[in-house]
Amino acid sequence: MDNGSGPSLFPLHRCKTLHLVRHGQGIHNVEGAKNYKAYMKPEYFDARLTPLGWQQVDNLRKHVHECGLSKRIELVITSPLLRTLQTAVGVFGGEGYKDRTDVPPLMVANAGNSERPSISNLNCPPIIAVELCREHLGVHPCDNRRNISDYQFLFPAVDFSLAKTDEDILWKADVRETTEEVAARGLKFMNWLWTRKEKEIAIVTHNGFLSHTLNALGNDCHPSMKKEMSKHFSNCELRSMVIVDRSMAGSDSSTTDYPRKIPSGLDLPSDVADEKYRGKEKVRTQV
């Protein structure tokens, strides 16, 4: 796009559709809205969803099923924090889990004091936890994750294999990421997405991560579009966007292009014929 002046075309296989989701209301959101200092309270460590947050999850789940997204999404990526994990499995998980020894649930009953039943991992996309899309790191206990081994007990069918350490070594009690560092981490996450084969992905994450990442993107768009992209997310808000691989970082070929006429035969497009004719006429007049 040239300074947002008009539409652009890109090969479909160089694009991915991202469904960006902020987690439902957490216990820290309620108190933090009243007093910002509440975010510093240790009791909000790895904050869980509130009952209202679970209602928001249920409503978003209903929406993704009614609009058909639940059938199109190939992969769900979630931040490895309790509130995002609860949101991811609540929105995109399977239906009606029954105790089975051969199929672990996405979430065990009452995970994180949720007072919710188990959630099935049947007939739903895979869900993986990725550290890169965590919230603004440092200082706030609500953004400090628990051990991966604890999450694996609560969310048995979620894939935590990309976590490099059991303990949280990224969060620091006395150092908070700058907004520039969050944005850089977000761009690194976007580049990592091109290593995935999936074309339609849901990402369950946090407002700070989304806002700072999206604000670093869209500089070639119309200012109003950039503003639309980077505005703050409400709890359990979903926005669908497309990212384009302009740098050819991805290696996938198109699965839908039909590259040649079969069976082959003579095929001279009229515009090519016109060019050839004009070229011959030009040579003839010069002679």
pLDDT per residue over 220-238, tens digit each?
777 888 888 888 999 999 9
What torsion, rounded to 10 degrees, do the Cα atoms 200, 202, 203, 204 define? 180
pLDDT of residue 114: 94
Q: Phi, psi at residue 254, to the nearest 5°?
A: -70, 140
177 lies in some domain: yes
Looking up residue 155, the CATH number of its domain turns out to be 3.40.50.1240
> Is 28 in the active site?
no
- The CA distances from residue 100 to 120, 149, 156, in Å, are 10, 21, 13
The vertex-211 CA angle with 88 and 208, nearest 5°, equals 65
5 lies in some domain: no
Beta-bridge mates of residue 102? none
250 lies in some domain: no
pLDDT of residue 2: 46
77 lies in some domain: yes
100 lies in some domain: yes
Res. 200: pLDDT tops 80: yes
Q: What is the pLDDT of residues 251-272, one digit of tens each?
A: 667 777 777 667 777 777 777 6
Catalytic option among 23, 136, 206, 212: 23
22 lies in some domain: yes
274 lies in some domain: no
Catalytic option among 31, 131, 135, 177: 135
- How many domains does the chain divide into? 1
> Is 23 in the active site?
yes
- Per DSSP, 67 falls in state T
Q: What is the pLDDT of residues 114-172, one digit of tens each?
A: 999 999 999 999 999 999 999 999 999 999 999 999 999 999 999 999 999 999 999 99
Look over the chain and give the mean of its residue pLDDT values, rounded to a whole number: 88
- Distance between terminal CA atoms of the chain? 44
Q: Taking every pair of C-alpha atoms in the chain, what is the biggest distance, in angstroms?
A: 90
- The CA distances from residue 20 to 76, 94, 101, 204, 238, in Å, are 10, 20, 33, 6, 5
Q: Alpha helix locations (H) across the chain?
A: 27-34, 51-66, 69-72, 82-92, 148-154, 179-193, 207-215, 223-230, 270-286
Beta-bridge mates of residue 241? 18
Report the alpha-carbon distance of residue 81 to residue 191 in Å, rounded. Answer: 22
Q: Which domain holds residue 216?
A: 12-244
pTM, two decimal places: 0.87
286 lies in some domain: no
Closest by Cα among 132, 15, 129 to 83: 129
Q: Phi, psi at residue 159, to the nearest 5°?
A: -90, 110
Asked whether the CA dihedral 241, 247, 249, 253 is positive or negative, the reply is: positive
Res. 189: pLDDT tops 80: yes
